[in-house]
Each structure stands twice: as C-alpha cells, then as structure tokens.
Amino acid sequence: MYIGFIGLGTMGKPMASNLVKAGFKVKVWNRSQEPVEALKSQGAEVAASPADFEDVDILVSMLADDATVSAVIVDGGAMAALKTGAIHINMATISLKLAEHLASAHRQQGHGYIAAPVLGRVDVAEAGNLNILAAGKPALLEQAEPLFAVMGAKTWVFGEEATQANVVKLAANFCLSSAIETMGEASALVRGHGGSGKAFLEMLTSTLFAAPAYKGYGGMIAQERYQPAGFKLTLGLKDVRLALEAAEAAHVPMPFASTMKDNYLDAVANGDGALDWAALATVAARRAGIKG
C-alpha cells in the first residue's frame, strides 16, 4: 500500500513518522521544508507539490483549517491528481460545509473519502495512541484500518457521512474548551479570596475531576505553562466558531460556546493567540484584576 501524507505540522509529523516506522511506503509534502527533510531521513519519499500524489493508494492530510485544506487539497491540485479508486483520509478539524463539499467532490471524481479527525496532543501522536473519530463507507474504513492501527489506540466510527465525524470532533473540542474555561474561572475565584489557585487545581484534578483532560490542562493552568503551544489558542477560537456554525445549521442553542468565543477573542486581543489554548484560563484572572 502506497501512502501519501500532506501536512507535517505539530501533529502530522509524528503521525507520518509512525507510518514510515511501521514499514509503509510513504510520500510526504509540507509547505515548510524542515519536517520534510526529517521524514526523508527516516525513509519517506518527497513529493514535489500537492499535485504529486497521482500514484498513491491512500492520501492522508493533516492541515490546520478550512482555508489551508482548500488551498492545498483543492486549489493545490492534490484531489484532482488522485487516481480513480484512491482514498483521501482527511484528519483535519474542518467545518461541516467543507466536509460535505470534499465528500461530494471526491465522489464525483471516483475517489473514496474518509473524515477522521483525532483526539490527542503531540505526545499522544508520537506514541501512536490517538483516538481517531472516523466516518466513511465501511469498505473504505476497512482499507484504512491498518493506518489507523499505527497512528491511533482506537478508532471510533460515527457513521458513513463525513460530517458525522467532524461534528463529533467539534463537540469534543467544545467540551475541552469548557473544561479549560471552568477551571480558569474557578481558580480565579479561589485566588480572588487569597487562596492558592495551584493547590485548588491540584485538589480538583485529583478528586472530583481526576480525568486526563482536567489533569493535563489543570496542570498547565496551575503552572501557567502555555508555551510551547501544543494547540494554539487561535485554533481553539477557530473550533468554537465552527461548533457555533454547526449548531446554528441544526438549530441547536449553545450559549456556553457563544461566551467562550468572546473569551477567546479577549485572549487574542490581549496578545495570547500564539499560546496554548489552555491560556484561555487567563481571561478570568485578568478580568478580576489578579496579577501573577
């Protein structure tokens, strides 16, 4: 099986690396060359452009947002280059509108299409322990499973329509944002009365909320450790906007998401856009006039 991989960013690079290490024949492309050279040194082939994937059986893409996916996959020629019967696995977090468009366009061109966004940060990707949220035709998912088994610990199938996986990813990221926002506000409340936010979060994530997301992000908030960014705050803003867009399309009120969007904008306006999205927690403290 010949694999193409487009998008060697924070998450894509270790995912592609794991496929190479597992013995797959892999061809890679990325806009910046440093990760391309790293994958080449591991044995990957290098594509000349996004359109240089006409011979692959499966193309995996892990790109940042709608604009990048459109620019590279559609306008860059990757989709048009694929041979009849090839499969595109899009692992990006994108809008439902774009997911529908890509599924339709691939179908018209005789390609298979799978939506497969992931849960997990870079260390999880490096370990090959991502949770993969997949949607696509059963026959296509069966062909993709050997790749999913290398990149992830478990594949969760949510249906045959691409949007079904993408909306699950948006809902999951909404839950993570809510956890960060809640811990930020609660910690600011404790600190506002002279208590230790760090001690509060340590207690909280060891008792009532002793779950991976709370423990991981709670630790980051307690230590104010927002760099290097595993997932930039601007991407959190992008995802909550996409969740609200999806909610409006289905007439689903999401008042908490609306509040978080404003808080993300507050953080970006105060220069925190490049920090990890856990820095959303600083908004509550800043509004309360809490320093340090």
List the end-to-end C-alpha distance of the chain, in Å, as a whole number. Answer: 53
Centroid of chain to Cα 74 = 20
Give the integer Cα–Cα distance in Å for 31 and 215: 34
Please, which residues bridge with residue 243 across strands? none
Catalytic amino acids? Answer: 169
DSSP annotation string for the chain: -EEEEE--STTHHHHHHHHHHTT-EEEEE-SSSHHHHHHHHHT-EE-SSTT--TT-SEEEE--SSHHHHIIIIIITSHHHHSPTT-EEEE-S---HHHHHHHHHHHHHTT-EEEE--EE--HHHHHTT-EEEEEBS-HHHHHHHHHHHHHHEEEEEE--SSHHHHHHHHHHHHHHHHHHHHHHHHHHHHHHHTT--HHHHHHHHTTTTT-SHHHHHHHHHHHHT---S-SSBHHHHHHHHHHHHHHHHHTT---HHHHHHHHHHHHHHHTT-TTSBGGGGGHHHHHHTT---
Whose CA is closest to 28, among 106, 65, 68, 12?
12
